[in-house]
Amino acid sequence: MSELLVERGPDGLVLLTLNRPDRRNAMTDGMTEQWRATMAELARDRDVRCVVVTGAGSAFSAGGDLSWLGERNVEPVPALRDRMLEFYRSWLSVTALEVPTIAAVNGPAVGAGLCLALACDLVYAADDARLLAPFTSLGLHPGMAATHLLPARAGVALAREMLLTGRAISGREAEIKGLVNRSFPRADLMTEVSAVAGEIIRNAPVATRLTKVALAAGHADLEAALRWEALAQPVTMASADLMEGLAARRERRVPKFTGS
Ligand SMILES: C/C=C/C(=O)SCCNC(=O)CCNC(=O)[C@H](O)C(C)(C)COP(=O)(O)OP(=O)(O)OC[C@H]1O[C@@H](n2cnc3c(N)ncnc32)[C@H](O)[C@@H]1OP(=O)(O)O
């Protein structure tokens, strides 16, 4: 059985399910390689409009596989550094997709599993899901950009608390503290996430891709944002989709975008 399930909807929605439920979707070398190859394939596919990531069974992901971690102490540090960079980059290649990505955190998201969720553009969680980054409580330095992703999303106060104590927070608390976009009762999570994905997919494809890329770039200052927007906005001004969007607004109907 594949450790990563890939389901494609007719409307350009791709659902990715980490599929190792008996180990709470802990990440193996095999799963990492499947993820990397899938990201490369999705990046080339112009029909993809939105990617949703979730976990099979009761967890989103328990992060790094504990048995795998326990065997690393025989490897020399330089080789391990290269291997870890490859591991982080494989998973975080999700950030390079030009289409919006959504994490549906259906259950525990731990360590690298939490980082994967936070690397998506939008994060929705079951209100009772446990989110934690217990690296130091395991004796491990944080990895997979935890020291960047946590403060970037929720600010340094929560990031410091989570990384220095290893404390778990619930999906509900994560919503209140701004770590995730919203939380829902677990039974409603996938319905709510599908609704958000549907809203994204209904919008103009090129404008959506360019907006995702702009937000992901995280323009450091006003001038950088203006320079990007002064190029990207004219690209969409020249599109058939803008004409369709304006016509639909005039005619009070739903636009039919084609991505041209
Ligand atoms: C480079 C990356 C580093 C990192 O990511 S550091 C973080 C490493 N991860 C962890 O420390 C998480 C450890 N796991 C847990 O805390 C819990 O699990 C959960 C909260 C995720 C889920 O709890 P529950 O639903 O009660 O499941 P359960 O009974 O603890 O586990 C079910 C089976 O799954 C295996 N398992 C859980 N997490 C991992 C893991 N990270 N790597 C390998 N196996 C894991 C267990 O051992 C057990 O197995 P069996 O049924 O044979 O007893």
Identify residue 194 by its one-letter amino acid code.
S
Closest residue CA from atom 10 of ligand 1: 62
Which of 91, 105, 110, 131 to mutate to test ligand 1, by most ligand atoms within 8 A of the CB atom? 110
Output the average pLDDT for the chain: 97
Q: What percent of the chain stands above pLDDT 90?
A: 97
pLDDT band at 10 (very low <50, low <70, confident <90, very high): confident
In this prediction, residue 19 carries a pLDDT of 98
DSSP single-letter state for residue 61: B
Burial 28-41 (b: 16+ CB within 10 A, else e): beebbebbbebbee
In this prediction, residue 204 carries a pLDDT of 97
In this prediction, residue 20 carries a pLDDT of 98
Ligand 1 atom closest to residue 140's alpha carbon, by position in its atom list: 6
In this prediction, residue 73 carries a pLDDT of 86
Sequential DSSP letters for 40-53: HHHHH-TT--EEEE
User: At which residue do the structure tokens 């504990």 appear?
Assistant: 66
Please check the confidence at residue 184 and state whether its pLDDT lies above 90.
yes
Distances from the Cα of 233 to the Cα of 106, 214, 257, angstroms: 36, 11, 17
In tens, the pLDDT along 128-163 reads 999 999 999 999 999 999 999 999 999 999 999 999
In this prediction, residue 106 carries a pLDDT of 98
What is d(CA 119, CA 173) in angstroms, rounded to the nearest whole number?
A: 19
Query: What distance in angstroms lies between residue 176's CA and the mean position of ligand 1's atoms?
Result: 26
What is d(CA 144, CA 113) in angstroms, rounded to the nearest whole number?
A: 9
In tens, the pLDDT along 204-248 reads 999 999 999 999 998 889 999 999 999 999 999 999 999 999 999
In tens, the pLDDT along 80-137 reads 999 999 999 999 999 999 999 999 999 999 999 999 999 999 999 999 999 999 999 9
Other Cβ atoms within 10 Å of 101 Cβ, number: 23
In this prediction, residue 194 carries a pLDDT of 98
Q: What percent of the chain stands above pLDDT 70?
A: 100
In this prediction, residue 43 carries a pLDDT of 97
Residue 240 main-chain phi, psi, to 5 deg: -65, -30
